[in-house]
Amino acid sequence: MGQIRLMEENLSNKIAAGEVVERPTSVVKELVENAIDAGSMAIEVLLLEAGLTSIQIIDNGAGMDDDDALLSFSRHATSKIANEHDLFRIRTLGFRGEALASIASVSKVTLHTSTGDSGTFIRLEGGRLVEHRAGSLRKGTDIKIEQLFFNTPARLKYMKTLQTELGHTIDLLNRFALSYPAISFKLSHEGKTILQTAGSGEMKRVLADIYGVAIAKKMIPFEGESHDYKISGFASLPEITRANKNYISLFVNGRWVKHYAIANTVHQAYHTFLPLERQPIVVMNIEGDPYLTDVNVHPAKQQIRLSKEKELMELIHATIRQTVSGTVRAPVIEKPKAPKQMPSKQLDIWKAAYTVQEPVAPSTASFTRPTEMVNAVTETKNEPDPEPEIFPEALPVEEVPSNELPVRELQEEELEQTVGFTEEESPQFPELEVVGQIHGTYIVAQSSDGFYLIDQHAAQERIKYEYFREKVGHINAAERQALLLPMTFHYSRDEALRLKENLEVLYESGVFLEEFGDTSFIVRDHPTWFPAGFEQEVVEDLIEQVLNERKVDVKKLREEAAIMMSCKRSIKANHYLQKHEMERLLADLKNAEQPFTCPHGRPVIIHFKTYDVEKMFKRVM
């Protein structure tokens, strides 16, 4: 008899569940997507023990008739696509037809659904139909998932703490709310409401519900369009930053996706506006013909492939760059306000999302509840979760003030404040009168509305950067300085081969490198505007970048060259200036295209308002 046999349907469903149902959040995702596809305008999620004991999703969508309700729990049964043509033009969130079957195979399911004309009640245990009868007539669907992984207890060993698992679900509902502001979402845990949105369709209100009023007021709208794509959304002012890309929320045709290249392009659009290693908060909707997107990459449907990706990246970079560049201004130092306190229960949820669980030795004890298994097989360490290759799954709580936590409930008066936001005025460089200098590093200047501190190195760095950026972008053969003693360089064979492939790239960046043997190179001249005394260092640094980059980009190399040369040519700290030198520096800074940040994104100038200074000295109360 042969060794190959067909698996039983229940076994194949459990195997499929391994990819579709990783944790309670996976169940919530699939069921909420079904509710959205059904046209629901109000979706409620109720959890017990972070969803391990019970997940209930109630919606007011189209519902199902009796035949569809029974068929929906069969593998590869779907109403979303009918043929191969539909597979390449997917306009719904779900389409694979395997989620309900997979979920039912590892849990106990109770379903109430109705189209308004007739109602159906179905109960399944481990994928086996236990009860089927007529149900209530309320239009919509009420589905309850109980005892998740009750028949696959090994899966429970990989669950983290309840608070961590709840944090993942909160993050998921936040994304849904950002993508569908016209739908009302409500999330409750153990009978307590954690998140609730109005479903008004006002994106600013949703941003306030999730990130808090203070952040929402500093989010600016943007939109752009190319031949194949249209983008819109909100981007934070450069003064609002976070530690990772997790606050960049991307939606393609309504679907929340994780796309490293797009997130990186968003970050690049803030280049020179943000400090190094900091990220903006951005919510972006991307619309395009479904034929241009392949969402059938993974059962979770969060990784996608895009056609005409270069066109989209250029649109995103240009749109966000243009939107943000007009908002950069001098940071204002104000008297700090005492933060509003977050209920400790909610704060604990978010702290838990930043813990690592380590499996311990397996136990032979028996467990009657999922949480007993979870608590028995994990130990918690207060260490940050390492960031995955693309994104961590839950929004972290790093350095977010308690009144800005995404799960914070807003008071009604705060909600009213989020309506009718005024657009930020275009920043103007102030008229400044030099007062003096502090520690040979900071220039003190005053104006009619207070005083300013200017970082002299950052200020000249910005001025020089814009000069070198213009020069390196237009290499002029007439601006070349011959060297009395040419520079020679020697590299290994693989490095030499890589340099030979990129001689044109280096030339376009001002490095006139020539072959001088099999593994040697020579530079006989350089641009006249290279920093005096740093010529060889600049050449070596640019060559090093070419060798270290897997894919060399001329535009990026020119940018890095301009930043490097501006830093080397700028005055340093502890360098005392005459008053006329400080006045000249501020005059040049005023004429800069972007005078408020240095090329590394650090602030150049900080404003102390007169009123705030008077408050500090108790002159006004």
CA 423 to chain centre: 23
**Residue 135's pLDDT is what?**
86
User: Across residues 72-88, what is the average pLDDT?
Assistant: 71
- 430-465 as b/e, with b when 16 or more CB fall inside 10 Å? bebebeebeeebbbbbbeeebbbbbbbbbbbbbbbb
**Residue 292's pLDDT is what?**
86
C-alpha span between 244 and 255 (Å, rounded): 21
**Residue 618's pLDDT is what?**
86
**Residue 415's pLDDT is what?**
43
Segment (H or E) for 56 = strand 54-59
- Checking if the pLDDT of 340 tops 60, the result is no
- Checking if the pLDDT of 555 tops 70, the result is yes
Are 606 and 471 in contact by the 8 Å Cβ rule? The answer is no
User: Across residues 13-35, what is the average pLDDT?
Assistant: 81
User: How sure is the predictor about 363, in pLDDT bands with cuts at 50, 70 and 90?
Assistant: very low
Structure tokens at 376: 């028995």
C-alpha span between 45 and 29 (Å, rounded): 11
Judged by average pLDDT, the poorest of 67-81, 119-133, 392-406, 521-535 is 392-406
For residue 70, the tally of other CB atoms under 10 A from its CB is: 16
C-alpha span between 282 and 235 (Å, rounded): 4
Closest CA to 173 of 300, 340, 46, 21: 46
**Residue 156's pLDDT is what?**
81
C-alpha span between 143 and 33 (Å, rounded): 13
C-alpha span between 451 and 125 (Å, rounded): 71
Structure tokens at 274: 């943000």
**Residue 147's pLDDT is what?**
92
C-alpha span between 373 and 254 (Å, rounded): 37
E strand spans, 424-503: 433-438, 442-447, 450-455, 480-490
Beta bridge partners of 450: 447, 609
**Residue 315's pLDDT is what?**
96
Any residues with CB less than 8 A from the CB of 348 and at least 6 apart, and which?
Answer: 163
Sign, Cα dihedral of 550, 555, 559, 562: positive
Share of the chain above pLDDT 70, in %: 79
**Residue 620's pLDDT is what?**
84
Are 140 and 43 in contact by the 8 Å Cβ rule? The answer is no
Q: What is the pLDDT of residues 545-554, one digit of tens each?
A: 889 887 778 8
Any residues with CB less than 8 A from the CB of 416 and at least 6 apart, and which?
Answer: none
User: Across residues 437-454, what is the average pLDDT?
Assistant: 94
Are 120 and 66 in contact by the 8 Å Cβ rule? The answer is yes
Are 114 and 135 in contact by the 8 Å Cβ rule? The answer is yes
DSSP H helices in 120-217: 162-179, 203-211, 213-216
User: What domains lie within the chain, and their CATH numbers?
Assistant: 9-196 (3.30.565.10), 203-333 (3.30.230.10), 344-402 (no CATH), 433-590 (3.30.1370.100)
Q: Is 149 helix (H, G, I), strand (E, B) or coil?
A: coil
In DSSP notation, 488-535 reads: EEE--HHHHHHHHHTHHHHHTTT--EEE-SSSEEEEEEEETTSPTT-H
CA 514 to chain centre: 43
Q: What is the pLDDT of residues 210-241, one digit of tens each?
A: 988 989 999 999 999 999 999 999 999 988 88
**Residue 85's pLDDT is what?**
67
CA 392 to chain centre: 10
